[in-house]
Every structure is written in structure tokens, then in C-alpha cells.
Amino acid sequence: MRQILDGITEGKGQESDIQLLKDLSEHLQDSALCALGGSAPNPVLSTLRYFHDEYEAHIKNKKCPAGICKALIKFSIIDEKCPGCGMCVKTCPTDAITFMGKKKPVILDQAKCIKCRTCYDICKMGAVRIE
């Protein structure tokens, strides 16, 4: 089940994976020899029940609505909101953001970005967008 979930969060999921997860979970509940084994698939079944649309977004659209699956998101700078303060430049661990001068928007290099969210978290102006 973990391999299937990893595949979905990496953008490699298939529509049949949802039913396979459900079937595996129910089979594990029915065949487990202890209470722990019987309850282990409960989180998967709960997410399938309450967040089915998110599974479909990951599989069909290759998008993560929550903005946390690194393989399915990218960060960008909203030029109109970026004051050029450089806070994101200072905190970026991979030097993926280039300071262009005060009052000029920074530039984000997608090739260097490791999607750590540091720039998103530090920017108080809302100039970093998760797509």
C-alpha cells in the first residue's frame, strides 16, 4: 500500500490504484490475526472516503491540491507582490533565488529549487506562489 501511495504522490498513480488500495485495505482488515493488523489500513480507508477528490487530482491532473507533494508542485514568484527585500534569498538553502536589487522582484531558478518551502514560509508579502 505504501508503494502505491508513494506512486500517487510522485505523479505516477493510475486510476486503478484507488480501487487497489481499497481492496488491499479491506483484505488486510478481514485477514489480520491481531487488532493492530486489522486497524492498520484505517487511515488509508479514511482518506479514500473523505479525500477521494484529492486522490483523483493527483492521478488524473498530476496536481496536489494541498501543495505538499514535491513531485507535483512548483514555486514561482509573483512579480507584482515581490518588494525585492531579499529575505527569501537569504534563507534559500540551494541558492535557487537571485536578488535583483531593491524594489525589483527576485528570480527563482526551478532547476535549483528543492521545494523545501523556506521561501514560501519566510515571505510575508505573499509573493511566493505554490502551483
CA dist., res. 131 & res. 15, Å (int): 23
| Structure confidence at residue 102 (pLDDT) | 86
Tell me the pTM.
0.79
What number is the average pLDDT over the span 48-57?
Answer: 97
Q: Dump pLDDT digits (tens) for 10-39.
A: 999 999 999 999 999 999 999 999 999 899
Question: Domains of the chain (ranges plus CATH)?
Answer: 2-61 (1.20.1440.230), 74-130 (3.30.70.20)
What does pLDDT average to over the chain?
A: 95
Percent residues over pLDDT 90 in the chain: 95
Percent residues over pLDDT 70 in the chain: 100
